[in-house]
């Protein structure tokens, strides 16, 4: 019986799409402007976020190549750089001021514009309506505004690269006094005003997006789609939005006080400052630590805003390509919840060495280490899902596996840092750089790549080229470990972050060759990302066409839409949902889509 | 509300829901600022102030405006247009009175020597109360737009949702002010 049922279920799905393919549903007059530019279709907005994010990633990545050139070859000059970059590389060398500007912009761009705006913007927009069975977001208009605020933020941030005194250069965390005093450095002048303006616009964009994601998930689910039937992607994107809506406003209030310090003469963050060449400042009584509290109250939730979407997508993709239900669905939801709560209670672990009261510090150690519990639950469940599975090594799956590997490696070093006593030596060293690049930077990128490879057929009706995808995966995975693993040793040896030249230190001379090596690998990995971008655009027009409605044989609702869904997603009625998203290998059937009613003699329906 | 859509029955209207989430977000912003006040206030060199009496008047004005907008909503639902119109006008006038009292309060403080230099209670007050004024202003603009809209169309709209959303926001701004005012009173 079961085999027959499988065949039947399958053919039904295919015949369903044959007719509706390429038909657009609400075909009212659409101009180029309303369809591609000021679009209110969540799918188009998702692509806008994705492509903007990719441009940002290339810019931010190129910046890291430039400063890695300096770190790997501090004694050499590269005259060709001056030809390309002009004043950024006078005489073929990156000046100190430009080095710091590059590092600052690299951090800002990757953390906010790529891994927050680009990642959530793309997948929350694309997947929420499609996977919960809605025609669009709760407010398509706010959604469109969210993208255009992001765009505005991007323009302002980019323009700061071209002002005469250069972009902000005081680190992505924007600590005062560098961020508060125009006199403190060239980048602290107009560059910083543009930085704050861009970030304020960015916060507005995130809030508008987040509001929409939350009300869409809670209010617009199709019939039968109870919260406990939601795919884990949606749960993750939902918690991401909650984190953003509650933490970004606090960052904004920090920035408001910063603006007053910069331009209205207040001194919330400033006290007793002497700038060489300028003299003593008359700001009195402020505290830079206050800014750190406000910043990290956002900053820590922010790292989970970056990570949760990747976790959600990895969960989904691992389950689909293992042909097994995700292990411990409720535990996965519960751990997302626990992470979202704890994310608000650990910010001071970034401030162990600021003179924080040691008793308070120990409370934050405890809370920080508690995060290891839900994290470990997730890892356990991913591994158990893979256990004895019939794995399909699609490019999306490979990146999801890479995500799990990187999350484990980077999470373990978090446990070192979470102990305030160990952090006294590790703080502000390359150990921290290694920790957060592996656990957040690269692993979120892997989650994003997994998502792109997996949902590209739904986005463009074509596949990405597999050969290029495999090259992309293996070189990026090996490269990520080769770049960041050795940085742990540098950090353990005490090598501090945020210096542009380590060759004057006797203790770090031993790392000269290692730094060259890291820089070389960084360039190779960057080149492979260009290959990916090429693959992405090439495949939009030239990729192999998708011919079946459900190419990955997946259960979720997005694969019940036509191959190229129009605005409104489903030409007819929205399908009704009868089961959870993870009925794989059940009752002898490979997969049972969510919209298939429970059969009469099915075992334990979910 | 629509309950033909099966699972959509008895659910809160999406616009109202979105408003509640937005309010949570605004609360976080002010929570951030008042927490900053507390942290900063426990550090050495803190300078306190005494609150001008005018802020009591403004409190009266905004509390009263909450009452009038609630009555306006009631009038709207009873389809008593003239009453609705006059109550909404009173609400806007009270809100403007609130802002004027606030600004005079600022002026009194400023004349008593509390300038922008420094980072004590006074500077926090200017910024926190100032941001609150911006939220009231936003409310006034939204209220006027909504008010005009309900008269511009050919058909009169009896949809209560915009009015309810507006009322909720208004009470929220009022509540926010009470929180801020009591916070500053307790901290003096
Ligand atoms: C077991 C879980 C984790 C623990 C215990 C942990 C702990 C820590 C601690 C104590 C620091 C401060 C180090 C210092 O500056 O001295 C830190 C830095 C950081 N962590 Fe984690 N972490 C964990 C997981 C994560 C995750 C999952 C992410 C991101 C998705 C992340 C992102 C970051 C970032 C971005 C920084 C550094 C920011 C900066 O200073 O520029 N961490 N972590
Ligand atoms: Cu943290």
DSSP-derived secondary structure for chain B:
---TTGGGTTPPPHHHHHHHHHHHHHHHHHHHHHHHHHHHHTSTT-------THHHHHHHHHHHHHHHHHHHHHHHHTT-HHHHHHHHHHHHHHHHHHHHHHHHHHHHHHHTT--SSB-SHHHHHHHHHHHHHHHHHHHHHHHHHHHHHHHHSSSPP---HHHHHHHHHHHHHHHHHHHHHHHHHHH-
User: What is the spatial distance between Cα A179 and Cα A173, in angstroms, rounded to a whole number?
Assistant: 9
Q: Is A305 near ligand 1, meaning CB less than 6 Å away?
A: no
* B18/A212 CB distance under 8 A: yes
Instruction: Identify which of B7, B32, B39 has the shortest CB distance to residue A223.
Output: B7
Residues A361, A349 contacting (CB under 8 angstroms):
no
Q: Please indicate, yes or no, if residue A6 is contained in any of the structural domains.
A: no
> Residues A551-574: what's their mean pLDDT?
94
Q: Is A591 helix (H, G, I), strand (E, B) or coil?
A: strand
**Does the residue A455 lie in any domain?**
yes
Q: What is the pLDDT of residue A275?
A: 85
Q: Is the pLDDT of residue A128 over 60?
A: yes
- Residue A590 sits at φ, ψ, to 5 deg, of -65, -45
CB-nearest to A218 from B17, B26, B118 is: B17
Of A271 and A437, which is predicted with more confidence? A437
pLDDT bracket for residue A30 (50, 70, 90): low
Ranges of each domain in chain B: 14-187
In tens, the pLDDT along A57-93 reads 999 999 999 999 999 999 888 888 888 887 788 888 8
A350 lines ligand 1 (CB under 6 A): yes
CB contact under 8 A, B18 and A248: no
At A153, which CATH number? 1.20.210.10
The single residue listed with the structure tokens 């208009």 is A141
Q: State pLDDT tens for residues A1-11.
A: 333 333 333 33
Q: Is the pLDDT of residue A391 over 60?
A: yes
pLDDT tens for A471-508 read 999 999 999 999 999 999 999 999 999 999 999 999 99
Residue A600 lies in a domain: no
Give the pLDDT band (50/70/90) at residue A302. very high
How far apart CA A219 and CA A136 sit, in angstroms, is 12
In chain B, residues with a C-beta closer than 8 Å to the C-beta of A343 are: none
Ion ligand 2 nearby residues (CB, 5 A): A 300
Q: Helices then strands (H, E): number in chain A?
A: 19, 4
- What's the total number of domains in chain A? 1
Percent of chain A with pLDDT over 70: 95
Structural element, H or E, at residue A360: helix A358-370
The whole-number average pLDDT for the span A266-272 is 90
Q: What is the average pLDDT across A416-430?
A: 96
Name the class of domain B14-187. Answer: mainly alpha
Q: Which ligand is nearest to the CA of A344?
A: 2
Tens of pLDDT along A177-204? 999 999 889 999 999 999 999 999 999 9
Q: Is the per-residue pLDDT at B3 higher than 70?
A: no
Angle (deg, nearest 10), helices A288-322 and A119-132: 40
CA distance B170 to B65: 8
- Parent domain of A492: 40-271+283-591
Task: Look at residue A233 and tell me whether its pLDDT is greater than 90.
Answer: yes
pLDDT in tens, B119-156: 889 999 999 999 999 999 999 999 998 888 777 666 66
Q: Which chain B residues contact residue A253 at CB under 8 A?
A: 29-30, 32-33, 36
Chain B CB contacts of A294 below 8 Å: 32, 36
Complex prediction ipTM:
0.91
pLDDT at A606: 59
Give the model's confidence band at B107: pLDDT under 50 very low, under 70 low, under 90 confident, else very high.
Answer: very high
**A219, A246, A264 ranked by CB distance to B25: nearest:** A246
Q: Which of A257, A288, A345, A347 to mutate to test the interface with B (most CBs of B within 10 A)?
A: A257
pTM: 0.92
Q: How many whole angstroms separate alpha carbon A303 and alpha carbon A435? A: 12
A591 DSSP β-pair partners: A584
The CA distance from B99 to B101, in Å, is 5
Instruction: State the pLDDT at residue A16.
Output: 37
Identify the pLDDT of residue B87: 93
Mean pLDDT of the residues in chain A: 91
Our mutation pick for probing the ligand 1 site, out of A403, A420, A436, counting the most ligand atoms within 8 A of Cβ, is: A436
Residue B2 pLDDT exceeds 60: no
Share of chain B above pLDDT 70, in %: 90
For residue B118, the model assigns a pLDDT of 85
Q: Which B positions 38-67 lie with beta carbon below 8 A of chain A?
A: 39-40, 43, 45-47
- CA distances in angstroms from A64 to A60, A109, A379, A547, B38, listed in the order given: 7, 11, 30, 40, 39
Whose CA is closest to atom 20 on ligand 1?
A436
Does residue A19 lie within any of the structural domains?
Answer: no
For residue A222, give the chain B residue with the closest CA: B7
For chain A, how big is the Rg over CA atoms in Å?
A: 25
* For range A590-604, the mean pLDDT: 88
Instruction: State the sign of the Cα–Cα–Cα–Cα dihedral A439, A441, A442, A443.
Output: positive
Which ligand is the nearest neighbour of the Cα of A240? 1
**Structure token pair of residue A187:** 């980048």
Give the confidence band of A466 by pLDDT, cuts at 50, 70, 90.
very high
Residues in Cβ contact with A363 at an 8 Å cutoff, skipping those fewer than 6 apart: none
- Are A253 and B30 an interchain contact pair (Cβ–Cβ within 8 Å)? yes
Is residue A15 in a domain?
Answer: no
Question: Which chain B residue shows the shortest CA-CA distance from A142?
Answer: B18
Where does the pLDDT of residue A22 fall: very low under 50, low under 70, confident under 90, or very high at 90 and above? Answer: very low
Hey, are the CB atoms on B32 and A250 less than 8 Å from each other? yes
């Amino acid at each position: 019986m079961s085999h027959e049922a499988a065949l039947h279920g399958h053919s039904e799905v295919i015949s369903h799409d044959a007719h509706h393919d390429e038909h657009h549903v609400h075909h009212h007059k659409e101009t180029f402007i309303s369809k591609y530019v000021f679009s209110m279709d969540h799918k188009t907005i998702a692509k806008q976020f994705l492509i903007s994010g990719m441009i940002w990633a290339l810019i931010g990545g190129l910046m890291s190549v430039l400063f890695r050139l300096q770190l790997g070859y501090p004694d050499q000059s590269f005259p060709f750089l001056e030809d390309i970059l002009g004043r950024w590389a006078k005489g073929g060398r990156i000046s100190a001021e430009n080095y710091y500007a590059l590092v600052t912009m690299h951090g800002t761009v990757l953390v906010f514009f790529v891994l927050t705006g680009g990642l959530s913007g793309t997948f929350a927009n694309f997947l929420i309506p499609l996977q919960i069975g809605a025609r669009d977001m709760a407010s398509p208009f706010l959604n469109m505004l969210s993208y255009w605020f992001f765009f505005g933020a991007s323009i302002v941030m980019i323009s700061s690269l071209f002002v005469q005194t250069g972009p902000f250069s005081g680190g992505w965390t924007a600590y005062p006094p560098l961020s508060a005093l125009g006199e403190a450095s060239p980048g602290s002048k107009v560059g910083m005003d543009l930085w704050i303006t861009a970030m304020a616009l960015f916060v507005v964009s995130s809030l508008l997006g987040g509001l929409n994601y939350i009300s869409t998930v809670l209010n617009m689910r199709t019939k039968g789609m109870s919260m406990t039937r939601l795919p884990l992607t949606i749960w993750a994107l939902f918690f991401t939005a909650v984190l953003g809506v509650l933490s970004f406003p606090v960052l904004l209030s920090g920035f408001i006080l910063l603006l007053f310090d910069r331009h209205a003469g207040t001194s919330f963050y400033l006290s007793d400052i002497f700038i060489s060449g300028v003299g003593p400042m008359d700001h009195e009584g402020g505290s830079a630590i206050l800014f750190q509290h406000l910043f990290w109250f956002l900053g820590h939730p922010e790292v989970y805003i970056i990570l949760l979407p990747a976790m959600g997508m990895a969960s989904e993709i691992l389950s689909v390509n293992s042909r097994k239900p995700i292990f411990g669905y409720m535990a996965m939801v519960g751990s997302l919840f626990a992470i979202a709560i704890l994310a608000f209670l650990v910010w001071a672990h970034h401030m162990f060495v600021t003179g924080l009261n040691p008793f308070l510090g120990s409370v934050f150690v405890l809370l920080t280490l508690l995060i290891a519990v839900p994290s470990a639950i997730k890892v356990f469940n991913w591994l158990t899902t893979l256990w004895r599975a019939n794995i399909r090594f699609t490019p999306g799956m490979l990146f999801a596996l890479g995500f799990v590997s990187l999350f484990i490696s980077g999470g373990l070093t978090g446990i070192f840092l979470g102990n305030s006593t160990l952090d006294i030596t590790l703080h502000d060293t390359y150990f921290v750089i290694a920790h957060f690049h592996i656990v957040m930077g690269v692993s979120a990128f892997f989650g994003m790549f997994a998502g792109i490879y997996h949902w590209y057929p739904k986005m463009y009706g074509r596949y990405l080229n597999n050969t290029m995808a495999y090259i992309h995966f293996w070189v990026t995975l090996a490269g990520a470990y080769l770049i960041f693993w050795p940085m742990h040793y540098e950090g353990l040896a005490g090598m501090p972050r945020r210096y542009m030249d380590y060759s004057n230190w006797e203790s770090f001379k031993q790392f000269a060759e290692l730094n060259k090596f890291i820089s070389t690998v960084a360039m190779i990995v960057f080149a492979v990302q260009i290959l990916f971008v090429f693959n992405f655009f090439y495949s939009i027009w030239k990729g192999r066409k998708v011919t079946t409605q459900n190419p990955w044989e997946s259960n979720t609702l997005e694969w019940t839409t036509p191959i190229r869904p129009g605005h409104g997603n489903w030409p007819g009625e929205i399908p009704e949902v009868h089961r959870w998203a993870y009925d794989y290998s059940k009752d002898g059937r490979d997969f049972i889509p969510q919209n298939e009613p429970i059969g009469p003699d099915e075992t334990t329906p979910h | 509300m629509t309950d033909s859509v099966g699972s959509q029955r008895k659910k809160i209207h999406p616009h109202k829901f979105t408003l509640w989430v937005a309010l949570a977000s605004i609360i976080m912003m002010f929570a951030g600022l008042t927490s900053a006040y507390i942290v900063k206030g426990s550090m050495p060199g803190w300078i306190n102030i005494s609150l001008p009496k005018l802020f009591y008047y403004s409190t009266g004005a905004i509390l009263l405006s909450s009452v009038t907008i609630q009555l306006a909503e009631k009038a709207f639902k009873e389809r008593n247009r003239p009453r609705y119109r006059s109550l909404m006008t009173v609400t806007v006038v009270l809100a403007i009175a609130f802002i004027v009292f606030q600004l005079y309060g600022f002026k009194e403080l400023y004349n008593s020597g509390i300038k922008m230099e420094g980072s004590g209670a006074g500077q926090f007050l200017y910024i926190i109360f100032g941001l609150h004024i911006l939220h009231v202003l936003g409310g006034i603009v939204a209220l006027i737009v909504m008010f005009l809209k309900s008269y511009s169309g050919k058909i009169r709209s009896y949809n209560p949702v915009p009015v309810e959303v507006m009322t909720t926001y208004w009470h929220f701004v009022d509540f926010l002010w009470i929180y801020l005012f009591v916070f500053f009173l307790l901290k003096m």
